[in-house]
Amino acid sequence: MADDLFPFIDGVQVAESVQSATEEPADLPLFREYVWDFSLDDFVLRDGNPVLIEGIDAIRTWISKTLRTERFRYLAYSWDYGQELDSLLGQRSVPDQSEAERFVKEALGASPYIQSLTDFQLQQDADTLSIHFTANTVYGGVVIDGFQL
């Protein structure tokens, strides 16, 4: 009788090729993003060319742009990009924090550079939904304090 219940092909070691979800992604290139002026809602240009930033500043910009983009609305983006938080607006009761947290985790989970989200808080005023959290990235923590919808 065989020692293993599952058939294996000689020379192929499947178990070694599977990376644990807790392991840091191997060989990620330096994260780069174009600088975005959120007050003008446009790229920052220098001599007519978009300016690039790298590392944790690029991640911070990417997070902000992702949270400002409604998922499934723009054909230019994949369906993995953007958030669905807009569906929580206009509800009579305070949205469930776990639902908002899930939407944010799904939106930011598209990036292999973001490892986890912590310290998640949700506040709702008369017509504003404010979200506070820390994104733990391969470059360190990025605090998002008071992102508003």
Instruction: Find the CATH number of the domain harbouring 135.
Output: 3.10.450
Q: Does residue 9 lie in a domain region?
A: no
Instruction: Identify the bridge partners of residue 123 per DSSP, sorted by sequence position.
Output: 130
CB 75 within 8 A of CB 50: no
Q: Does residue 1 lie in a domain region?
A: no
Please choose, from the candidates 100, 112, 21, 90, the residue with its C-alpha nearest in 3D space to the C-alpha of residue 67.
100
Q: Does residue 88 lie in a domain region?
A: yes
CB 64 within 8 A of CB 38: yes
Is residue 92 predicted with pLDDT exceeding 90? no
Q: Does residue 12 lie in a domain region?
A: no
Q: Does residue 17 lie in a domain region?
A: no
User: Range of 72's domain?
Assistant: 29-148
pLDDT at position 73 is: 65
What mean pLDDT is predicted for residues 43-59? 93
Q: Which amino acid is at 137?
A: T
Of 140 and 9, more confident: 140
Domain count along the chain = 1
Percentage of the chain beyond pLDDT 90 is 31
pLDDT at position 58 is: 94
Contacts of 98 (CB under 8 A, 6+ apart): none
Q: Does residue 130 lie in a domain region?
A: yes
Contacts of 97 (CB under 8 A, 6+ apart): 120, 121, 122
Q: Does residue 20 lie in a domain region?
A: no
Indicate the pTM of the whole model: 0.70
Q: Does residue 37 lie in a domain region?
A: yes
Apex CA 130: angle with CA 128 and CA 111, to 5°? 130
Instruction: Identify the bridge partners of residue 50 per DSSP, sorted by sequence position.
Output: 45
Q: Which amino acid is at 119?
A: D
Q: Which amino acid is at 12?
A: V
Q: Which two tokens stand for residue 37?
A: 């002026």
